[in-house]
Structure 1
Amino acid sequence: MVKKLKSVFIIALILVLITLISLNAAAEKMEANLKIANYPYIEQSLLASSRFTTKEEKDPEHYQEYLDNYTLKYTPEELEEKNYQKSAENEYLVLYFEPASFSVLLQNKKTGYFWSSNAEFLTETERRTDYRTGLWVSYVISTNISRNYQTKNLLGEKAEVKHTPLPDNKGLSATVNFSNLGFVFEIKLYLDGLDFVVEVPSVKIQENNPRYRLVLIHLFPYFGSVREDKYPGYMFIPDGSGALVRFKEEIPTDYYYAKYYGADFGYVDIPANRDLTLPVFGMIHDVGTNGFIGIIESGDTIADLSANFWGYRNSNYFWITPVYNYREFYTNVIDKSESGAPTVSEYLNAVDLKVRYRILSNEDADYVGMGRAYQEFLEEKGVLTLQEKREAIPLALDLIISELEPALLGKRLVKMTTPEQALEIYRDLQAVGIKNQRLNLLGWSKSGFIDTAPYKIKLNASKKAYRTLIDAAEKEEAKVYFLVDYILTSSAASRPKNTDLARRMSKTKMELKLYRSLNDTAYLNFLFPEVSLEFAEKDYSKFQKLGIENLAFSSLGNTLFSYYQNGKRYNRSESLTYYQEIPKIYGKSAFYKPNAYMFKAASEYYQLPLYNSQHHYFTDLVPFLPIVLKGYLDYYSPYLNFNALGKEQILNLIDFGINPSYILTAEPTTKLLYTKARNYYSTEYADFREQIIENYQYINNALSQVHGARIIAREVLDAGIVKVSYENGKAIYLNYRSTDYKFGEIYLQAKDYLVV
């Protein structure tokens, strides 16, 4: 009986298990089918998100409302009635000035469009003095300094404005006197071709009342401002690769504020989470018709960018403006715990301001036109020079030569890629047709690699081995660069003395705390700019003796700070003076993520950002930075070892004209486990060889056809379908979708491109 019961129980248990397994399989099948059914919707949502650029579309009814009710139209009589005086005119523009409020109107003669420095189309309930003036000042009371500075505008303070014409009637020079506060400014407004130019010489700024200290100014903050969602355009922010904020909906909870060129570690101790590497900003009122790009020609080192949105603090406007910091707050430290009260410098930053508002018309009035306008400006200034076309694009390989790890006594050098192994990697890729390589050697010194700069100029292998590598590469199209850093250092570095370490404006040691991983916290210091230059000068002859001519600078192009030294405080412009001397010693060099002020010195641009900061209010990702540089400077991706987006990111590189980049070692990556380079968790060449060849050939087949050519247009034909046009007549069509797409005679396979 017991045996029968056991048998029945076992049979029942098996049946239950079979039923459960069947039900689970059916559920998984249903879930998989549901996922498949939902995938087109998910993909469509992704392609319409701020990770991509959206298609330009104008609702006819909305557009007509804009044309009828939200474009400025003035007769000469109406301008005279509003006290606007014609101050300058050239072939392209007419400048009108209203002195009482320090306001301007700028007419584009090509389209007839008026640009105003004021917020227009105000309602009766909106406070007009806040929106209809061109100059705001912020200040502190010198006897009771608080971070909560006060802000006043020209109209509210009833400042006096006197003006006289400039020679040749190209504009005017105005003296603005805030008599109650004691601030006096001389401001020049004039036309220069397509540009409306604003200048403020720092030597002409007066502070006549010792009770008040000027902190910052806004110049024409509402220039080109847009009311609500009435305009068929967008705001441009040069965050990362580039970002747009379309005038579509209220954004009541947030605004954008960031410092050009990243954090100033003279005042703060945390890195910036936004990359503003170009000193520009812009507005498009009507895509394909009217827009402008603002270019900060001087004053960029003391500038922040403020972008404000409809709905924030009950504002009905989108507006974007630079903010110029003539003083910044720091702590007046009184004890070892670094406590103290906030204060500002006694002296103003002696930096001249010069801003160009370049007016864009018709087909130039979009983000591509903005990029081309800034590119043209840089070319005019001699910053960018057109490249010679090459038959193949370059491939960047960062090779970790060695790194230090803890040992029983001190540290020992872990060799990851000898010069001989680097040569083998180079020749292996050369054998499959990849000749145009950039080999960047990291950890070539006996000092190691991470946190030990400035490195000792002592090779960790024989001079002959390195010379053989350099000679072999330079016989072909390749180049070999040696990584250096003359800005950042740490206690692990042997060369700097304590007196070489820069100090914040508060006189405390400048230190940056970095969390590289859960159990890896780094404390970095900064060298005084003068010391950076001294190290670079001393090392030059040593590099020459070793036959090393090409350097790659990791921090020189992307780190800029104010500092305290020997009883004086220095601003970022003064740091930059030292930094720009270093490339003059070494000639054209490679830079990692350089800001615009180092473009002229750059031979390669490494680690170009593929994306922007992805804030919730950004509506589009655009390749503004690539558009500026394409045809002038080779630029490279972040390391593709760590590409988590697969084919999409490879298409992104082709779309943006970006060359591929990897970080590699000849030895297994596990040997880095106890070094500071352990965050590079997958680097072994053998593991990536096939991927490097496949990705390079796929990207090269597209970009080799447009190397040395400028981007002249970029159009989103449909969600996830992009056309990039080059000046040599070539066009690259890209399909980010998971399905094939047909556009006229163009047939695009899923996740693929076509060059025509």
Structure 2
Amino acid sequence: MKKIVGSNVPVAISLIASDIEKRVIGYRTMPITTFKQIEKIVSELKNSGIGNLKVIINGWQKGGIHGNKISKLSFEDSLGDIDDLINFVKNGKKNGYDVYLLDNVTKVTEKQINLKKEVGINLSQSVIYEDRDNRELWIYRSYYTNIVLASQYVSEKLTKLSEKGISNFALNEYGSKLYGDLKYGHEFFRSDALKLVERTLENISKKTDSLYLSNPNDYTWKYVDGILDIPMNCSQYLFETDTVPFLQIVLSGSIDYFAPYVNNSFFSRIDILKMIEYGALPSFLLTWVDNYLIKKTPLWDYPSTKYEDWKVKITEIYKEVSDALKNVRGSKIIDRFVVEPGIIVVSYNNGKSIVVNYTSKTYILNDQKIKPQSWIVTNSNSINVGVGQNE
């Protein structure tokens, strides 16, 4: 795997640029966060003291997140001039941020593909699809693109984007969903799909400065620089008694990995402490407009994404996580010890340890006080895990 470069702790902000909105007759593309508004958000967050912003733009395509034709490279006109976006992307490095254009060619809506020609086929010769629990929703069904076509589309798009000087890219679903295409007489099995995905990502990684994937499978890790939406909770099976950050231990020091969106259910004090314990980086899903304005889009179920409502919290949470993880950035987790329920010691190969106190009482470990629901950073060799007490 790769090695993390740079000492500044990053934070990811995923910005929804546009999506389709249901009308009395048909639908239209709704601008949600324009390119100028994205620039303003980034500028304000930089001025607030965030030193390493990963700016992920979703819905930059013509038709937005759920309406763009995945076979074509296009840009949504209502968001602003494409040259403004390209300049914003190119200026990122020197201004202390990185911009990623996010795409999803894998799990899409019927408005994005030709259902007769582009959808994957399962063993029963039916199209591969997935329904949401609530069938009353507008666009409750998603379809899986033929894996060969999905790989072709993403390669073609990335080639064209790199020619425009856009060299950071992010993908949803492509690295996490593995399926074949079993159309009778033209079978393309999962083993073939795996090799194709690896070849595609290898080629993509040669054309990009940085590639991010969402919760990807392990065969993709060697090609990526960042992982979005990394799992932070256990499966909750009855025979599991604790959540252990096994995946994070494996990836630590090699790949930046980001927790689920703070403003979409990963917001509690325990969640923030878990980020620090796991070495996971914060991420936020943001829009310029208020959520009631997107209630007629497929994004209606996001409860709170308006940037203005979250900008103070983004800075607060980032600074706390950064204060902890800057001490171990680029280092590997080599040990994790539960002193007693709610008191966790995580040790790194640079000689530092982070002690997290999830309990409601102050805990004393080797004469060091860890306040309730708080943490400290200390030298690993100064910790005797057999000596500790509640105050």
> TM-score, structure 1 length as denominator?
0.47
CA contact (8 A) 1:503 1:565 kept: yes
Tell me if structure 2 keeps the 8 A contact 1:403–1:448. yes
CA 1:711/1:540 → structure 2, altered by over 3 Å: closer, same or farther?
Answer: closer
Change over 3 Å in CA distance of 1:451–1:459 after alignment to 2: closer
Is the 1:393–1:436 contact (alpha carbons within 8 Å) kept by the matching residues of 2?
yes
Task: Give yes or no for the alignment of 1:423 onto 2:45.
Answer: no
**Which residue matches 2:13?**
397
- 1:718 is aligned to 340
What is the match of residue 543 of structure 1? 161
Tell me, in whole angstroms, the C-alpha distance in 2 between the residues paired with 1:464 and 1:579: 31
Match for residue 697 of structure 1 among 319, 327, 330: 319
Q: Which of these residues, 123, 135, 145, is aligned with residue 527 of structure 1? A: 145
Match of 2:105 among 455, 472, 486: 486
Question: Match of 2:129?
Answer: 511
8 Å Cα contact 2:66-2:108 kept in structure 1: no
**Larger strand proportion, structure 1 or 2?**
1
Give 1:421 deviation, angstroms.
0.9
Deviations 1:474-522 (A, max 9, x none): 21342111111222223111x5462221111122222222226864562
- Equivalent in the alignment of 2:214: 592
The Cα shift of 1:655 comes to 0.3
1:564 to 182, 190, 197: 182
Which residue is equivalent to 1:155? none
Alignment check: 8 A CA contact 1:406 1:674 kept: yes
Secondary structure of the equivalent of 1:641? Answer: coil
- 1:52-82 per-position Cα deviation (integer Å, ceiling 9, x unaligned): xxxxxxxxxxxxxxxxxxxxxxxxxxxxxxx
Distance 1:537 1:496, change over 3 A: farther
1:580 matched to 2:202? The reply is no
Q: Is the CA contact 1:445–1:455 (under 8 Å) kept in the aligned structure 2? A: no
Aligned partner of residue 449 in structure 1, secondary structure: helix
1:440 correspondence with 2:56: yes
Supply the distance in 2 between the matched residues of 1:444 and 1:540 (Cα, whole angstroms). 14
The structure 1 residue matched to 2:306, chosen from 676, 679, 684, is 684
* Equivalences, count: 371
Contact 1:447 1:455 in 2 (8 A): no
Q: Which runs of 5+ in 2 are unaligned?
A: 379-391
Structure-to-structure mapping, 1:32-431, within 5 angstroms: 384-388=1-5, 390-431=6-47
Please give the alpha-carbon distance, in whole angstroms, between the structure 2 residues aligned to 1:451 and 1:629. 35
* Compared CA separation, residues 497 and 549, structure 1 to 2 (3 A): farther
Give the structure-2-normalised TM-score. Answer: 0.90
Give the whole-Å Cα distance in 2 for the aligned partners of 1:464 and 1:517. Answer: 40
Does structure 1 retain, via aligned residues, the 8 Å contact 2:20–2:67? no
2:238 partner SS: coil
Shift of residue 549, structure 1, vs aligned partner? 2.0
Q: Distance in 2 between matches of 1:723 and 1:741?
A: 12
Structure 1 residues 385 and 619 mapped into 2: Cα distance closer, same or farther (>3 Å)? same
Contact residue 722 and residue 734 of structure 1 kept, 8 A: yes
Identify if the C-alpha distance between structure 1 residues 385 and 545 changes in structure 2 by more than 3 Å, giving closer, same or farther: closer
Give the CA deviation at 1:392: 2.0
2:84 counterpart residue number: 465
Equivalent residue number for residue 243 of structure 2: 621
Relative to structure 1, is the Cα distance of residues 463 and 545 closer, same or farther in structure 2, using a 3 angstrom cutoff? farther
Q: What is the identity, as a one-letter code, of the residue corresponding to 1:669?
A: N
* d(CA) in 2 for partners of 1:582, 1:550: 16
Secondary structure of the residue that 1:648 maps to in structure 2? Answer: helix
Does structure 2 retain, via aligned residues, the 8 Å contact 1:533–1:581? no
Secondary structure, aligned partner of 1:642? coil
Considering Cα pairs closer than 8 Å and 6+ residues apart, tell me whether 1 or 2 has the greater RCO.
Answer: 2
Please report how far the alpha carbon of residue 409 of structure 1 lies from its aligned counterpart in structure 2 after TM superposition.
4.8
2:365 paired with 1:743: yes
Q: SS of the residue aligned with 2:305?
A: coil
Give yes or no for contact 1:487–1:527 (8 Å, CA) kept in 2. yes
Q: What secondary structure sits across from 2:99 in the alignment?
A: strand
Shift of 1:645: 5.7
TM-superposed deviation, 1:391: 2.7
Q: CA RMSD in A?
A: 1.9
SS at match of 1:631: coil
CA shift digits 1:718-753 (9 cap, x unpaired): 221111111111111111011111122111111110
Question: Could you tell me how far apart the structure 2 residues matched to 1:549 and 1:517 are?
Answer: 39
Deviation of 1:528 after TM superposition, in Å, equals 1.7
Is the Cα–Cα contact under 8 Å of residues 540 and 585 in structure 1 kept in the other structure? no
3-state DSSP class of the match of 1:732?
strand
Query: What SS does the aligned partner of 1:707 have?
Result: coil
